[in-house]
């Protein structure tokens, strides 16, 4: 079983729509959680950290459910520039290794 | 540019040749990581340095792979006797210690290796 699993999508949404997707992680001892964004053939870039209480950054909202071991990302009022692959990332916390999901592809159309 | 820098950006080589990649981390970051990413997959951890010490190597890192960080600054990743299965994007990341602003890793643009 992979450490982090994501729905690969693609999610094709019109501009202005809301899109949400989840990922699940297998190790209950995981401590840190992130969403990274990766554009085609570019490096991953941190979108946001995910905190237990849930957190929001502009149009992006992340939630963490430790009991069910899943993380979600919601994008409101989608922009064309939101088109990318979103990588769910988990860190055990006491070590250094990031475990990545395979990514969820989002395409926002005009 | 004060981000993570990787060179070369692209490398095409013939099977059996040796290749070396370089990574320059963000200057105050003492932790440096190498990952490998193939098409349609997320990055996979290869190895990790804290200063000049290599503290962990993934099972993905066969004996043909070696990484160094001689002075605790830049790092090199060498692949000997390349195979077609080595074709991938090799990503370098760096971070501060976790007790400072968390354990966020910042990635370089990567070196895309194609083995013919």
Give the model confidence (pLDDT) of B61-116 as tens digits.
Answer: 889 999 999 988 999 999 999 999 999 999 999 998 766 555 789 999 999 999 99
Which pLDDT value is given to residue A82?
Answer: 98
| DSSP notation for chain B | --S-EEE-SEEEE-TT--EEEEEE--TT--EEEEEEE-TTS--EEEEEEETTEEEEE-TTS-TTEEEE-TTSS-EEEEESS--GGG-EEEEEEEE--TTTTTT--EE---EEEEE-
Cβ within 8 Å of A, B 39-78: 40-45, 48, 50, 55-56, 58
- Interchain proximity A97–B48, CB inside 8 Å: yes
Which pLDDT value is given to residue A52?
Answer: 83
Each residue's pLDDT expressed in tens, for chain A with a length of 110 residues: 788 999 888 999 999 999 999 999 998 888 889 999 999 989 999 999 998 888 999 999 999 999 999 999 999 999 999 999 999 999 876 667 889 999 999 999 99
Give contacts of A46 with chain B, Cβ < 8 Å.
Answer: 104, 106
Q: Which of A9, A43, A51 to mutate to test the interface with B (most CBs of B within 10 A)?
A: A43
Which pLDDT value is given to residue B101?
Answer: 52
Question: Which of B31, B41, B107 is opposite residue A44, by nearest beta carbon?
Answer: B107
């Amino acid at each position: 079983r992979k450490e982090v699993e994501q729905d690969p999508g693609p999610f094709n949404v019109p501009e202005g729509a809301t899109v949400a997707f989840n990922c699940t992680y297998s190790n209950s001892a995981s401590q840190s959680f992130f969403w990274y964004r990766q554009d085609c053939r570019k490096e991953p870039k941190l979108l946001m950290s995910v905190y237990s209480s849930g957190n929001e950054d502009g149009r992006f909202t992340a939630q963490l459910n430790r009991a069910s071991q899943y993380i979600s990302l919601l994008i409101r009022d989608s922009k064309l520039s939101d088109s990318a692959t979103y990588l769910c990332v988990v860190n055990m916390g006491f070590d250094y290794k990031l475990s990545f999901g395979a990514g969820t592809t989002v395409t926002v159309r005009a | 540019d004060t981000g993570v820098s990787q060179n070369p950006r692209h490398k095409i080589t013939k099977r059996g040749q040796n290749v070396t990649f370089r990574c320059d981390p963000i200057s105050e970051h003492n932790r440096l990581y190498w990952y490998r990413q193939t098409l349609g997959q997320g990055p996979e951890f290869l190895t990790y340095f804290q200063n000049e010490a290599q503290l962990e190597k993934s099972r993905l890192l066969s004996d043909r792979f070696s990484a160094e960080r001689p002075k605790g600054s830049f790092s090199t990743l060498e692949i000997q006797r390349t195979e077609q299965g080595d074709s991938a994007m090799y990503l370098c990341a760096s971070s501060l210690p976790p007790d400072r602003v968390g354990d966020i890793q910042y990635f370089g643009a990567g070196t895309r290796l194609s083995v013919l």
